[in-house]
């Protein structure tokens, strides 16, 4: 299987490693990236010699006989690059979010509907063993019909969204699209219900300040005392390019919440936070029916089922796994099978479009203080 890559970033590099590990017949034969010389040097050191590097996606797609394409550019280019691949009807692995603004979302939806490209969207959480178990328990009828969902994502590494390139909301589309898109997707995967409107709120209480725009930690006079200083990190992170999270230009809220109403009348609450640390980390949800509740947490790798009318509590301990709790491996294998014509996507572009729509409408609700209907207009 010959694969072409548009945007060879760190995230797509991890997925590529999973693809190559899963099937020795797969190989990267072409790459387009603005850093192509740097990437070539890195991959040459790994022994990846038979790769052609191109200036543009158009050149690569016209010149190469590919079995599939993978897109790992910065977020605001996902739609544009995806539409270029659609013209060649190739299987596509597309990083999330699938779009960063409503105009691109509509363009991608229309282009996809007119194309013949099967797409795997990078939503690994839906493919984890822990989410699959939760869905299995709910589908068994053990807890009854789900009538309420409470979901949280308390992010212990939240500084990256204020000190790295993620601080630029023009590139990322904001933190609903960066983080909640994963959570909204796995919730939709479990529920299989249609959300109809949303009310949301965000706040920026911690990562704000009057430090000068563009200030980096290495140049700040407080870098030896600041709790968020990258200069005092004990890992191998290079602090030279990391920005001050208390500067005028940090961007991004540091917490946000959304409340979705579904067609059935039930509702789902979701909240994410970016200034908690260490043991306060949590990512998971409670799905509640009349007969029982099932809850899980990705960090602990544990699922619990509480029966409401007996004293029974069931506990399942699952290995959390690496690379998005094991989900990347399953998506990589799925993409390989799609390229071989042996499978359908387990994380479709329709899933990616719906999750992005939920995120964008949540963001619009937070900005305007109004309920927003989830409609394609």
Note if the pTM is more than 0.85. Answer: yes
pLDDT category at 377 given cuts 50, 70, 90 is confident
Residue owning tokens 């544990």 = 302
Predicted local distance difference test score (pLDDT) of residue 138: 98
- Cα-flanking dihedrals φ and ψ of residue 308, to 5°? -80, -25
- Cα-flanking dihedrals φ and ψ of residue 288, to 5°? -115, 125
Check if the beta carbon of residue 272 is closer than 8 Å to that of residue 179. Answer: yes
pLDDT tens figures, 258-291: 999 999 999 999 999 999 999 999 999 999 999 9
Predicted local distance difference test score (pLDDT) of residue 232: 73
Region 2-123+327-347: CATH code: 3.40.50.720
Q: Domain ranges in the chain?
A: 2-123+327-347, 126-321+357-373
Predicted local distance difference test score (pLDDT) of residue 323: 47
- Cα-flanking dihedrals φ and ψ of residue 23, to 5°? -150, 115
pLDDT tens figures, 48-91: 889 999 999 999 999 999 999 999 999 999 999 999 999 999 99
The DSSP annotation for 125-185 comes to GGGSHHHHHHHHHHHTTTT-S--EEEEEEE-TTTTHHHHSGGG-HHHH--HIIIIIHHHHH
pLDDT tens figures, 308-342: 999 999 999 987 555 467 799 999 999 999 999 99
Domains 2-123+327-347 and 126-321+357-373 share a fold: no
pLDDT tens figures, 220-245: 999 999 998 888 765 556 666 789 99
Fold of 126-321+357-373: Dihydrodipicolinate Reductase; domain 2 (3.30.360)
Check if the beta carbon of residue 106 is closer than 8 Å to that of residue 268. Answer: no
pLDDT tens figures, 24-56: 999 999 999 999 999 999 999 988 889 999 999
Edge to edge, what strands does the sheet with 195-203 contain?
313-317, 302-307, 292-297, 282-288, 148-154, 267-273, 255-262, 195-203, 372-373
Residue 89: cis peptide before it, omega within 30 degrees of 0: no
Q: What gap in Å lies between CA 367 and CA 102, rounded to an integer?
A: 15
């Amino acid at each position: 299987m010959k694969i072409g890559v548009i945007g060879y970033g760190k995230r797509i590099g991890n997925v590529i490693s999973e693809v190559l590990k899963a099937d020795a017949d797969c190989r990267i034969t072409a790459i387009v990236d603005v850093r192509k010389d740097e990437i070539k040097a890195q991959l040459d050191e790994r022994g990846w010699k038979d790769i052609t590097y191109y200036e543009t996606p158009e050149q690569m797609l016209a010149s190469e006989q590919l079995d599939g394409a993978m897109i790992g550019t910065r977020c605001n280019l996902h739609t544009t690059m995806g539409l270029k691949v659609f013209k060649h009807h190739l299987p596509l692995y597309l990083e999330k979010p699938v779009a960063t603004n409503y105009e691109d979302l509509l363009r991608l939806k229309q282009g996809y509907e007119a194309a013949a490209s099967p797409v795997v969207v990078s939503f690994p959480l839906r493919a984890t063993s822990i989410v699959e178990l939760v869905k299995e328990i709910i589908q068994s009828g053990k807890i009854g019909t789900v009538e309420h969902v409470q979901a949280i994502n308390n992010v212990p590494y939240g500084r990256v969204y204020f000190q790295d390139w993620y601080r630029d909301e023009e590139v990322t589309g904001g933190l609903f699209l960066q983080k909640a898109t994963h959570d909204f997707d796995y919730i939709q995967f479990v529920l299989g219900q249609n959300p109809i409107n949303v009310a949301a709120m965000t706040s920026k209480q911690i990562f704000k300040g009057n430090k000068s725009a563009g200030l980096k930690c290495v140049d700040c006079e407080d870098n030896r005392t600041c709790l968020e200083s990258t200069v005092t990190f004990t890992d191998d992170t290079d602090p030279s390019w990391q920005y001050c999270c208390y500067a005028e230009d940090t961007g991004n809220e540091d917490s946000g919440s959304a409340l979705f109403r579904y067609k059935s009348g039930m509702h789902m609450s979701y909240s994410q936070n970016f200034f908690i640390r260490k043991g306060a980390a949590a990512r998971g949800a409670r799905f509640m029916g009349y007969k029982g509740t099932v809850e899980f947490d990705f960090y602990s790798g544990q699922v619990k089922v509480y029966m409401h009318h007996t004293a029974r509590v069931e506990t399942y301990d699952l290995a959390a796994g690496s690379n998005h709790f094991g989900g990347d491996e399953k998506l990589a294998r799925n993409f390989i099978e799609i390229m071989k014509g042996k499978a359908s996507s387990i994380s479709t572009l329709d899933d990616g479009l719906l999750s992005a729509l939920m995120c964008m409408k949540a963001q619009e609700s937070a900005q305007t203080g109004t309920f927003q209907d989830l409609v394609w207009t």
